[in-house]
Structure 1
């Protein structure tokens, strides 16, 4: 079935070119991303708020891009680098696991922090990570996109 839009362009119904087609394509892509992140934790069954064990920190932080409540986006890479984008500004840093099994980040030139890292679980699925700064007690949560 074809559809003619007001400006005279003809598309097949349900095509990616129609607003409904683009919306459905984005929904499919979002569902696939959710399944990809969830698959990385298939063999784990953590409870919400449980500490991420040191041997799982790398898998946890590199599982997918994290979105924070303030609109910032962060990606952790397997090589220990991280990028953080907030209000159109991107910064680069590094992350690691220290000798005590704590998640640590470094942002040049001199900002360093260590965190307790906890799972965010909803409906039995890992949906994000909660970071608790060990020196200030500040907590923030990132959700996988």
Structure 2
């Protein structure tokens, strides 16, 4: 697919991330690799495979997984699968959101009662949030839910 003059080209990884975001926008956290390949039909099959493997290998927020219901797989699913890890075919991809490292600081600066809902949730999910702070965040979220 040609890129108009002046428009920067997007990397295969960026395009995969965009496709996953579009495919998971309706609530599922997993996207089929067959659907990723369809969205990137203009990209070489081996290039998409290499980038998917690199993404899963180099980013702990990116997960490849096999389809649990093997009977539901079609030939196109098998053809699209990526071999990863112990050599098992992977049919699905999930990309966890990157934690907002600044949310905890914003919650602490604003105070639990005055922090935004988004900051409270991001701070709650961040791996560096101490247990006592986590408990205070959950208490505030429950308080808000009861209002």
Instruction: Assess same fold via TM > 0.5.
Output: no
Q: Give the TM-score of the pair, scaled to structure 2.
A: 0.23
Higher relative helix content: 2
What TM-score results when the alignment is normalised by the length of structure 1? 0.23
Point out the structure with the larger strand share: 1
